[in-house]
Amino acid sequence: MDTPLGGRPVGGSYDAEFYDLATPGTFRGDIDWYRRKAQESGGPVLELGAGTGRITMAIAQDGLSIYGLDADRGMLAVLRRKIAALPGDDRKRITVAEGDMRAFQAGRQFPLVIIPFRAFLHNLTVEDQLACLGRVHEHLQPGGRLAFNVFHPSLEYMAQHTGAMAGVWRCNGTFEYAGGHVVRSESTRYDTVRQRVHSHHRYEEYGADGSLRRTFLQRLELAYLYPADIRRLLEQSGFAQIEISGDFSGRPFAYDTDELVVEATRA
């Protein structure tokens, strides 16, 4: 089911087929964590940055209704094809829409809003981030929960992409599929003044005979946030009971390379 939520896209444009091929089925245990949060809420769930449905479909198949918003038409087209292949009951539980997480209007409130797989970082400025959190706050029921994850800005990793190493191309994965494989490379630099990551992702698809079939170059710009930034943004947006873990097991944040797993309650 589709519904218009309005707004304009945030972030870069993706090739949805390459994205699905190069994205792990689960990222550090995120799918099970979001499924558990959805079950605890009782649903329905609002997901911002639904993409091609990695989290969306899992929650729907658990028997909960979910509304998925994304700004990228190509990603949503792949998600809609996946939904069409589901059994009827699962298909009816999913509503998808194209829209901007800073400016959408769903017309109802939810006990849980999720922003998986670092999608919140497409909000590049403090104004964008507060606008998004303002929309989330409005769409949460009183006492409802927001759950999302972002990477912690690792000083070691950033040091590998600054100075003479900034913008250097690195191969970071080969992904096999029936009839060929895809090589993914990445060139990254950091703007430490504005807290931005500037990346180019290059995908090269090769046939079984080794011949190059096609390439795709994606430009991606993301914000990065420290725990104190996240806490300040949430408090300013009217959230309380803020919890920031270092992984999806609930372990306290302790290491430079941790994933920041965040929960907060509409006060």
One-letter-per-residue 3-state SS of 48-99: ECCCCCHHHHHHHHCCCCEEEEECCHHHHHHHHHHHHCCCHHHHHCEEEEEE
Place 13 in a pLDDT band, splitting at 50, 70 and 90: confident
Are 189 and 130 found together in one domain?
no
Q: Tell me the residue range of the domain where 66 lies.
A: 16-152+225-266
Return the pLDDT at 2. 40
**pLDDT over threshold 70, residue 9:** no
Separation between Cα atoms, residue 47 and residue 184, nearest integer Å: 27
Are 218 and 233 found together in one domain?
no
Mean pLDDT of the chain: 94
Decide if 212 is inside a domain: yes
Separation between Cα atoms, residue 27 and residue 45, nearest integer Å: 20
**pLDDT over threshold 90, residue 7:** no
CB 7 within 8 A of CB 128: no
**pLDDT over threshold 90, residue 94:** yes
Instruction: List phi, psi (to 5°) of 266.
Output: -65, 120
Cα end-to-end span (Å), the chain: 31
How does pLDDT run across 202-230, given as a tens digit for each residue?
999 999 999 999 999 999 999 999 999 99
Are 230 and 163 found together in one domain?
no
Are 34 and 126 found together in one domain?
yes
Q: Which two tokens stand for residue 192?
A: 């430490």
How does pLDDT run across 152-209, given as a tens digit for each residue?
999 999 999 988 999 999 999 999 999 999 999 999 999 999 999 999 999 999 999 9
- Lookup result for tokens 């180019």: 200
Decide if 1 is inside a domain: no
**pLDDT over threshold 90, residue 11:** no
Identity of the amino acid at 80: R
Decide if 120 is inside a domain: yes
